[in-house]
Amino acid sequence: MVEQTIQAISSLPLDDTLRKASLQLVSRLPTAAESQQVANQGEAGLRAVLDGMMQEDKFYDRVAEIFNDLILTDRYLTANGQPREALNLMRIFPDAFWFGDPREVTRNPEWFQNLVLSNDSVAREPLQLINYVVKNELPMTEILTADYFMVNPYSAKSYGVFDELAFQDEFDVNEWLPAQIKDFEFFNNNIGDIPHAGILTSLMFLNRYPTSDTNRNRARSRVVYDLFMDVDILALEGSRPDGEAVDISSPAPTLDNDDCVVCHALLDPVASSFENWNDRGFYRPNAPWYDDMFQAGFAGADRPASEEPTSLQWLASQMAVDPRFNDAMVRIVYNGLTGAEPLDPPGDNATEAEWDAYNAESVHLDALKDSFVANNQNLKTLIKEIVLSPYFRADGLTTESFAIVHEDTGAARLLSPEMLHRKINALLGFEWRGPLDFYSVTKDNNSQARLLDDRQYYQQIYGGIDSFVVTQRLTEPNGLMIAVQERMGNELACYAVPNDFLTAAEQRLLMPFVETTTQPTSSANQEAIMQNIQHLHSHLLAEDLAIDDPELQLTYQLFVSTLEAGQAAIGSTEDGNLPFLCRRTNDLLTGDDLSSPLTIDPNYVIRAWIAVAAYLMSDYRFVYE
């Protein structure tokens, strides 16, 4: 049945799979050489191309984005709050504000620049560790077991470790190196060497999930189980009693009340393992710990007394050999790439279809996990396997009889604002920037807002997160999001079509087969227009249609009817000029004045193409992937 269930999925062809993966992983379209390699070598070619892509910087941006959606440490980035959220957490590090104490210095532009760069470098530390592990193809367990943390020149200065490291460039924020904090002193109190344990001892992680005298690191434990063991403590049998219903007849219900022990026997040993790390994420060895809760340990094993000062390193070593860690990695990457959580085990009243769906997916994910494990827990292996899986490539069903079984199958998703932003750049060669409509008349593009991934504009409306106040992405559209799509399609068409006509035909992204004068007045011209429409469907929507496909005919009709309506309106509601904001007098990327501006459209041809492009760029296939 499992085999039948999976065979019912009709998969995207390899070339479309390549495009889909390329846009998601490296925010660009595949090159001609990459496409050719896949055409020549099939799946092996696709794997090889993906290997190449996974060396690009953009890939690591995407990896960080995927993990941050769960870890949420980007909450401390300047873009998501105040410019010193991360540095404010470093008060025991005397050089945190190495560029000048905010209470004492004159805050000039250089000071602000150092503030932002240092803060964001500190904030990015846990995600950079993940990237470092992935980039070096280390076992993913190293994100827990690493006896180091990551710094760049700016954060190294804040942590006081800059002089111990050999940076190539003191001002390169992208140069990250592993570091350790040794022989640490705090107010003349010698703390000693910090026992780093990857993300578990990250200052950002520990502050993002703080503790208290009553919580006793249980929140941290819950997050650790959720992120790295794929165990949702809150979903276990038993529940926290309401209010006064707490059983106070025993001195320590979490130890001796069966209802409580269900969860706390799991939760508390991990919580106790954080005993040396205080509420603000600082290492405090030998601090007193509670004796009325389960003591440090993991999976039934007690932490050896000799490991007390390095408790989290011991915990990390235990988690690293726990097979549930691999489940957690599969879940995170599957979710990141497909936009969907793997299915839950069906409940007692589940239907046969739910069991079929679950069994098929489980068998498949287990196979992916096996590959991941067999290849030294290399995350790149897992990514390749998921991209090649029918669940990522699902494009339809071969038979309707499996519709219920596969009701949630596939990687189709509403693109996040950040993904949509990157897709626009990949397809059009420029970003959708602001301020709002005045993109085209400003020459200072670098300082202008990026509309889809800036919180001031549409990032929040379109369902983005800031990792703090808003932590859940919207995955279903609402009325305002539809309005964003509509405006996006209209604005982009207005900018992109005239801009494309400025270059030679062979270099154009959108209009390679027509000119601004090409009207459907001859069979040759009609053929050129149809070819261009065919190209637009392919380029913008990944829709490869035969030239006589009805969809292309309908788009052609839109072009013609728009052209006719526009031409008829010239002299009344229209004139021979392009709309003001669609005129190209300067370069979209540099702002430089153009020697041959494009401002007129005497026959309405350009505007008819703008209408066609606007139609396509708000399409389901454009805003979903």
Partner 1 sequence: MKRRTLLKALTGIGMAGALPMSLTRPAFGATADKFLITISATGGWDPTALIDPKGNTPRADGLGPINNYAASAIKSAGNLAYAPYPSMIEEPAIESAGHFDTFFNKHADRLLVINGIDTQTNGHDSGRRFVWSGKLEEGYPTIAALAAAPFADQPMAFISNGGYDFTASIVAPVRTASPGTFNQLAFPNSMFPTDPDLMHLGLVGQSSYSLVQQAREERLVRQRIAETLPKRQKQMDQLQTVKNSDVELQNLLDFLPEEVSNGLAGQAEVAIAAFASGLAVSANLNASGFDTHGDHDQDHTPSLTALLEGIDHLWEQIEMRGMQDKVTIVVGSDFGRTPFYNEGDGKDHWNITSIMAIGAGITGNRIIGATNENFEALKLNASTLQPDDSGIIVTPQHLHRSLRDFLGVQDDLDNLFPIGVEKLNLFS
Residue 477 binding partner 1, by CB under 8 A = yes
Q: Which stretch binds partner 1 (CB under 8 A): 30-38, 45-53, 60-68, 393-401?
A: 393-401
Binders of partner 1 among residues 312 to 371 (CB under 8 A) are 331, 340-344
The CA R_g of the chain, rounded to the nearest whole Å, is 28
Yes or no: say if 280 and 210 are a contact pair by the CB < 8 Å rule. yes
Instruction: Pick the binder of partner 1 from 99, 508, 607, 625 (CB under 8 A).
Output: 607
Residue 374 binding partner 1, by CB under 8 A = no
Binders of partner 1 among residues 110 to 149 (CB under 8 A) are none
Yes or no: say if 211 and 222 are a contact pair by the CB < 8 Å rule. no
Element (H, E) at 593: strand 593-598
Residue 214 binding partner 1, by CB under 8 A = yes
CA distance 290 to 349: 42
Q: Which stretch binds partner 1 (CB under 8 A): 15-23, 151-159, 525-533, 602-610?
A: 602-610
Residues 6+ apart with CB under 8 A from 518: 525, 528, 529, 605
Residue closer to partner 1, measured from CB, 7 or 82: 82
Residue 248 binding partner 1, by CB under 8 A = no
CB of residue 508 vs partner 1: minimum separation in angstroms?
Answer: 20
Residue closer to partner 1, measured from CB, 183 or 244: 244
Binders of partner 1 among residues 249 to 268 (CB under 8 A) are none
Binders of partner 1 among residues 263 to 292 (CB under 8 A) are 279-280
CB of residue 581 vs partner 1: minimum separation in angstroms?
Answer: 5
Tell how far CA 69 is from the center of its chain: 7
CB of residue 305 vs partner 1: minimum separation in angstroms?
Answer: 30
Instruction: Pick the binder of partner 1 from 192, 396, 597, 602 (CB under 8 A).
Output: 396
CA of 513: how far to CAs of 283, 492, 533, 561, 621, in Å?
Answer: 65, 20, 9, 20, 23
Residues 6+ apart with CB under 8 A from 1: 356, 359, 360
Residue 211 binding partner 1, by CB under 8 A = yes
Binders of partner 1 among residues 531 to 590 (CB under 8 A) are 551, 554-555, 558, 561-562, 565-566, 568-569, 573-574, 579-582
CB of residue 174 vs partner 1: minimum separation in angstroms?
Answer: 28
CB of residue 137 vs partner 1: minimum separation in angstroms?
Answer: 26
DSSP 379-401: HHHHHHHHHHSHHHHEEEES-GG
Determine what percent of the chain falls in helix, strand and coil, rounding each to the nearest 5: 55, 5, 40
Within 10 angstroms of residue 437's Cβ, the number of other Cβ atoms is 12
* DSSP E strands, 91-134: none
CB of residue 437 vs partner 1: minimum separation in angstroms?
Answer: 6
Residue closer to partner 1, measured from CB, 215 or 375: 215
**Tokens at 57, concatenated:** 């910087």
My answer on whether omega of the bond before 435 falls inside 30° of 0, hence cis, is yes
CA of 386: how far to CAs of 47, 105, 182, 231, 331, in Å?
Answer: 11, 52, 40, 22, 11
Instruction: Pick the binder of partner 1 from 33, 105, 234, 505 (CB under 8 A).
Output: 234
**Tokens at 216, concatenated:** 């006793």
Q: Which stretch binds partner 1 (CB under 8 A): 43-51, 85-93, 148-156, 254-262?
A: 85-93
First and final CA of the chain: distance in angstroms? 29
CB of residue 334 vs partner 1: minimum separation in angstroms?
Answer: 9
Contact letters for partner 1, residues 10-49 (x by CB under 8 A) = x---------------------------------------
Binders of partner 1 among residues 160 to 189 (CB under 8 A) are 187
Residue closer to partner 1, measured from CB, 8 or 129: 8
Instruction: Pick the binder of partner 1 from 209, 228, 392, 432 (CB under 8 A).
Output: 209
CB of residue 50 vs partner 1: minimum separation in angstroms?
Answer: 23
Strand 297-298 to 301-302 pairing: antiparallel
CB of residue 454 vs partner 1: minimum separation in angstroms?
Answer: 9
Residue-wise burial string across 340-356, b where 16 or more C-beta atoms lie within 10 A, e elsewhere: bebbeebeeeeeebbeb
CB of residue 176 vs partner 1: minimum separation in angstroms?
Answer: 25
CB of residue 470 vs partner 1: minimum separation in angstroms?
Answer: 5
CB of residue 89 vs partner 1: minimum separation in angstroms?
Answer: 6
CB of residue 556 vs partner 1: minimum separation in angstroms?
Answer: 11
Binders of partner 1 among residues 52 to 81 (CB under 8 A) are 81
Residue closer to partner 1, measured from CB, 173 or 461: 461
Element (H, E) at 116: helix 109-123
Binders of partner 1 among residues 403 to 422 (CB under 8 A) are 403-404, 406-410, 412, 414
Is residue 445 exposed (0-12), middle (13-18) or buried (19+ Cβ within 10 Å)? middle
Residue closer to partner 1, measured from CB, 376 or 585: 585
Binders of partner 1 among residues 423 to 462 (CB under 8 A) are 436-437, 455-461
Residue 82 binding partner 1, by CB under 8 A = yes
Instruction: Pick the binder of partner 1 from 324, 487, 535, 539 (CB under 8 A).
Output: 487
Yes or no: say if 129 and 177 are a contact pair by the CB < 8 Å rule. no
CB of residue 307 vs partner 1: minimum separation in angstroms?
Answer: 27
Yes or no: say if 333 and 383 are a contact pair by the CB < 8 Å rule. yes
Residue 394 binding partner 1, by CB under 8 A = yes
The DSSP symbol for 162 reads: G
CA distance 228 to 231: 8
Yes or no: say if 319 and 229 are a contact pair by the CB < 8 Å rule. yes
Residue closer to partner 1, measured from CB, 53 or 605: 605
Residues 6+ apart with CB under 8 A from 476: 414
Q: Which stretch binds partner 1 (CB under 8 A): 45-53, 175-183, 211-219, 292-300?
A: 211-219
